[in-house]
Structure 1
Amino acid sequence: MWHLLALGCLFFPGLFILTRRFLQTNFPTLSDGDTVAVSVRFISSVQAMMAVFVGYIIISSCKHVMKDRHWISTAYVMFGAPYMVYDIYAMYLYHWYKQKMKRDNGQNSAPVNIVTDFLKKNALIVLHHLVLLLVCFPIIVYYRKGLGDFFLGCLFLAELSTPFVSFAKLLSRFRKQNTLLYKINGAIILVIFFFCRILVFPYMYWAYGKQYGIPAHRVPFHIPLHCTLGNAILMAPQVYWLTLIIRKARSMKAE
């Protein structure tokens, strides 16, 4: 399994480098910051679609929500773990170019500690990545004892919203916020985010209850407390991000 971890360490940074060089060669009018922005969003979308594909395979293969297993579940966790480290670095690089562009345009009158500024503006997503890497990774690989592949597949499906979010970020960077395409993409984000990142949690409780003949609202009292706490920790940032998406949608409607 460790070879998959090594493969992930090569795949994500390597794909980023190749994508950036492709853009620099074929789209010379793009700035360095633009090539980084597009590359970061492209790699995020690739990882997301891989996770969704893996999640679909797992869910469609596991008839018993607790006991059925699929080899790809742990395999993809091993392969995808380096993405969390890569993505933090990629987001920092993107932030660095953003600050450089502001300095070049004379928008930053005072010196900025880029690392501190990056952590302040991206604290939640960095924390989210670190929790997945330092807490969820060892639990999935070592401590769950092969149980719950179905639920892992459900969580992978949450990544379905990522390509649309990435596309929105790119449209915003290239000043296309007022286009119909941006608004349609925003509506898609809202719907997919709600179903795949919010409703997925009650769906997992419903699936467990159906498997064992327990009403969904009684499931939290029939499973270990740490499972419910873990779900709450994972769901909390999703609810926060959903409120941000709704707030942005309202502001666009008001305009």
Structure 2
Amino acid sequence: MSGHYRATGINLKRQPLGEADLLVTIFTRERGIIRAVAKGAKKARSKLGGRMDLFVVNDLLLYQGRSLDVIEQGETLHSFNHLSRDLGRLGTAQYWAEGILAEGVSGQAHPELFDLFLEHLGRIEGCAPELISGQLVHGLYRLLDVSGVAPGVATCTVSGRVLHSEAAGFSITLGGLVAAEYQKEGQAVLPLTQEQVMALQWLPQPNLPPDVLQAGVWISLERCLRRYLEFYLQRSVRSAALLEVCLG
């Protein structure tokens, strides 16, 4: 079938297109981000309707058009139903999705990033409410890490000295932690306590234990990493404002 291809994708964004169609932005494992039309998806009896909801994972058959691809078939693999029932969980997923969209992995396969995003969607769907903020920051850091742009949290970015869970500063422009003795007057450095530094140094780990996830530092560290992300992307993270209200 010339012009046809299959892809596994996670719906990141959807918007109306005419009276009956939807324009869906999808993060696929095989082709990165694509924008495709789901014809008739707004109709009550459409087989594609529910499959085009946010963060639904589908096995898709698409036709490659001149400007936009067209979704011809979709088989749902996972729907993450619990995300839409809780604003904190949904906001976290949208936060991660906004970062992926801003990085612009259009037409470029990034299976490691896709698998990691899928993994963290599952974690945020199933975790206890008090762990959401910790999972948010952990997922954000790991998504930055697999994209090759995570800030340094193990050593001082100025000297290279290993930081042993000590109070330090965080420099957005230098890209990570700065030891106290290398912080200069007038330098744009965010001061971090020992507890905050210890929490940051857990982030490269694939899993965080519950006692670490329950630490009371994650809201402040989210703001820290958000400023870093916004500096890297050169744009604000719009979903963060609502999420901040949801997570208190």
| TM-score category, normalised to shorter length | under 0.3
Which protein has greater RCO, CA pairs closer than 8 Å, 6+ apart?
A: 1
TM-score by length of 2: 0.25
The structure whose residues are more often helix, as a share, is 1
